[in-house]
Amino acid sequence: MKPPRHPLLYAVCAIAATIGAAPSPATSPSPSAPTPPAPLGYVCQRASAPLQIDGRLDDPAWRDAPWTADFVDIEGDARPRPALRTRAKMLWDDEYLYVGAEMAEPHLWATLTRHDAVIFQDHDFEVFIDPNGDNHEYYEFEINALGTGWDLLLPRPYKDGGRAVHDWEIPGLKSAVHLDGTLNDPSDTDRGWTVELAFPWPALAELARRPTPPRDGDQWRVNFSRVEWSLRVVGAHYEKVPGTKENNWVWSPQGVVNMHRPETWGYVQFSTGRPGTAALQPDATRPARQWLHAVYYAQRAYREGHKRWARTLDELGVAAPPDAALTRHVLEVTTDLFQASVDLRLPDGTTQRWNIRQDALVWPD
Ligand SMILES: [Ca+2]
Ligand SMILES: [Ca+2]
Ligand SMILES: [Ca+2]
C-alpha cells in the first residue's frame, strides 16, 4: 500500500473507525452534490527545438503545439462565456515543462512589482499543477503583465485546512511576458498579452511523488486561470471599479468559484511521440475518484448541518457506486475523521482499492 501523507492520522482513523463500516444500500443521490464538470484533457508533446523564453510564442517549437480550448468561466456552463479570449499551450523536454498563454486584452494593466505579492489583485495568468492527482501537495504560479511572479505550494487545499507555503520558490524558473499594446495607459486600446513559462523539472519534482521528467503516457492534473478585473479610467489611470468582484476564466471548468479543487483540473498527458500521434487516454481511475468525491462533499455538507460526520451512506443520502467497475464500498467514521473506500476493477482485469478521507486526500492501496 502506498503510505498516506499523514500516517499517524491514518492510523488513528483505521483503529478507531468501526462504526458504519458495513456497505449501505443504495439511496437517492445527495441533492447537495451536483455533478462537477468533466475535466478537459491535453496531450503535451516534446519540444522539437529549444525555446527562447521572451514572452513571444513565435518559436518554431510552439507551432507544433495545439491550443487548449478557449477558457470558460470558472463555474462552467452556468455562466456566460468570457468576453475576452484566453487560450494556452504546453510543451516539455528533459529540462522544462513549458506553458504559453495568449490573452486578448484591451486594457493592459498591472501594478504589483514585488515577488510573491498577491498577484491576482492585478489582471493575471495562473498555473496549477498536481503531479500525482492526490488533491494534496500541489503547486501554483501567478504572473501579471509586469512579469511579477508568485510561486507557492499547498500541502493541502485551503478548504481542508491547508496553508499556502509562499516561501516555496522555483529555482531556475524562466518567465516572460510580451505586451501587444501599452501598459497602464488608458489613452489607447491594447490588443493583448502573452505569457511564456519554463518550469524546471527539479522544482516540480519536490512533491511530485512521480518520475520527473514524466514518462510517455503519464498524466498530471493541471489547470490554468486568468483573473480579470473590471476597470474604470480615473484621470490618466486605470483603477478597479469599486465593489466589483474579479472574473475567473479557466481552462477546465471547476463548477464553483474555487480553483483549489484539484479533482476538477484538466488532464495533461505527456507524449514522446511525434506531434499529433498520441491520443488522450481516459483516466481509468476516474469512476472511483468521482464516487469518493461525492461522498467527501456530502460529508462536508452533512457536518455543516449536524456537527458530525454521517455514519452510513443512507444517512449521507449518497447512492452506492453506480458504476459496475466499483464494488465493496466502505465508510469508516470516528469523531473527527472519516475514510471512504471502494474497489475499482481496472480495464486489465486487476482490482485496486481507492480511498478518500476527511481532508480530501485520495490514494490507492
Ligand atoms: Ca518565445
Ligand atoms: Ca499531489
Ligand atoms: Ca514563492
Tell me the pLDDT tens digit for each residue of 160-178: 999 999 999 999 999 999 9
CA atoms within 13 A of residue 291's CA, in its CB half-sphere: 27
34 pLDDT band, cuts 50/70/90, is: low
CA distance 207 to 209: 6
CATH number (domain holding residue 303): 3.30.1300
Q: Judging by beta carbons within 10 Å of its beta carbon (0-12, 13-18, 19+), is residue 335 exposed, middle or buried? A: exposed
Nearest bound ligand to CA 148? Answer: 3
Check whether residue 335 and residue 198 sit in a common domain. no
Range 122-148 average pLDDT:
98
Domain carrying residue 330: 286-364
* Ligand 1 center to 46 CA (angstroms): 16
Does residue 2 form part of some domain?
no
- Per-residue pLDDT of 96-115, as tens digits, reads 999 999 999 999 999 999 99
Q: Rounded to the nearest whole angstrom, what is the distance from the C-alpha of residue 277 to the centroid of ligand 1?
A: 24
- pLDDT (mean) for 72-88: 96
**Residue 278 falls inside a structural domain:** no
- Nearest ligand, measured from the Cα of 52: 1
Asked if 337 and 216 sit in the same domain, the reply is: no
List, in sequence order, the alpha helices (H) in 35-104.
60-63
Judge whether 135 and 157 are in contact, CB under 8 Å. Answer: yes
Q: Which ligand is nearest to the CA of 165?
A: 3
Say if residue 150's pLDDT is above 60.
yes
Closest ligand (CA of 168):
3
Q: Where a domain ends, among 214, 237, 271?
A: 271
All three cell numbers of 84:
475576452
Percent of the chain topping pLDDT 70:
91
User: Do 31 and 170 belong to one domain?
Assistant: yes
- Do 91 and 176 share a domain, yes or no? yes
What pLDDT is stored for residue 117 in this prediction? 98
For 232, residues 6+ apart whose C-beta sits below 8 A from its C-beta are 238, 239, 240, 241
| Residue 88 per-residue DSSP state | E
User: What pLDDT, on a 0 to 100 scale, did the predictor assign at position 33?
Assistant: 53
Contact (Cβ atoms closer than 8 angstroms) between residue 325 and residue 287: yes
Whether 138 is in a domain gets the answer yes
Q: Are residues 197 and 337 in the same domain?
A: no
Q: How far is the CA of 53 from the centre of ligand 3 (A)?
A: 20
**Does one domain contain both 197 and 73?**
yes
Q: Is the predicted pLDDT of residue 31 greater than 80, yes or no? A: no
Domain boundary among 232, 248, 271: 271
Residue at 280 is within a domain: no
Shared-domain flag, residues 247 and 297: no
User: Which amino acid appears at position 40 of this protein?
Assistant: L
- The pair phi, psi for residue 338, each rounded to 5°, is -145, 155
pLDDT > 90? residue 322: no
Query: What is the sign of the dihedral through the CA atoms of 123, 85, 257 and 242?
Result: positive
Is 276 inside a domain boundary?
no
| Ligand 1 centroid to residue 55 C-alpha, Å | 5
* Centre of ligand 1 from the C-alpha of residue 100, in Å: 9
What is the SS3 assignment for 167?
coil
Evaluate the CA torsion angle 69, 75, 81, 83 in order and state its sign: negative
On whether both 316 and 358 belong to a single domain, the answer is yes
Domain count, the chain: 2
d(CA 22, CA 74) in angstroms, rounded, equals: 38
What confidence score (pLDDT) does residue 82 get?
98
Report the CATH number that the domain containing residue 237 is assigned in CATH: 2.60.40.1190
Shared-domain flag, residues 202 and 297: no
| pLDDT at 255 > cutoff 70 | yes
Identify the helix (H) or strand (E) that includes residue 327.
Answer: strand 326-333
The gap from C-alpha 193 to its chain's centroid, in whole angstroms, comes to 23
191 plus 306 within the same structural domain: no
pLDDT in tens, 259-284: 999 999 999 999 999 988 999 999 99
**Residue 5 Cα to ligand 2 middle (Å):** 10
Q: Which pLDDT score, from 0 to 100, does residue 37 have?
A: 87
Mark whether 119 and 223 lie in a shared domain: yes
Distance from Cα 174 to the centre of ligand 2, integer Å: 23
Ligand 2 centre distance from Cα of residue 104 (Å): 32
Query: Would you say residue 29 has pLDDT above 80?
Result: no
**28 alpha carbon – ligand 2 mean position (Å):** 32
- In three-state secondary structure terms, 29 is coil
% residues pLDDT > 90 (the chain): 88
**For the CA of 175, the nearest ligand:** 1
Grid cell of 81 as nine digits:
462565456
Residue 233 predicted with pLDDT over 60: yes
* Residue 99 Cα to ligand 1 middle (Å): 10
Ligand of minimum distance to the alpha carbon of 132: 2
- 209 CA → ligand 2 middle, Å: 8
Alpha carbon of 221 to ligand 2 centroid (Å): 9
pLDDT at 350 over 60: yes
Please name which ligand lies nearest the alpha carbon of 89: 1
Q: Residue 177: nearest ligand to its CA?
A: 1
CA of 363 to the centre of ligand 2 (A): 10
Residues with CB under 5 A from ligand 2 (ion): 130, 132, 134, 137
C-alpha to C-alpha distance for 180 and 70, rounded to whole angstroms:
19
Between the CA of 178 and the centroid of ligand 1 the distance, in Å, is 9
- Co-location of 259 and 233 in the same domain: yes
**pLDDT of 42 over the 70 cut:** yes
Which of residues 243, 271, 299 is at a domain's end?
271
CB-CB contact of 361 with 138 (8 Å)? no
Q: What is the pLDDT of residue 20?
A: 31
Closest ligand to Cα 198: 1
| pLDDT value at 28 more than 70 | no
What is the mean pLDDT of the segment spanning 37-44?
96
**Is the pLDDT at 341 greater than 70, yes or no?**
yes
Is the pLDDT assigned to residue 21 strictly greater than 70?
Answer: no
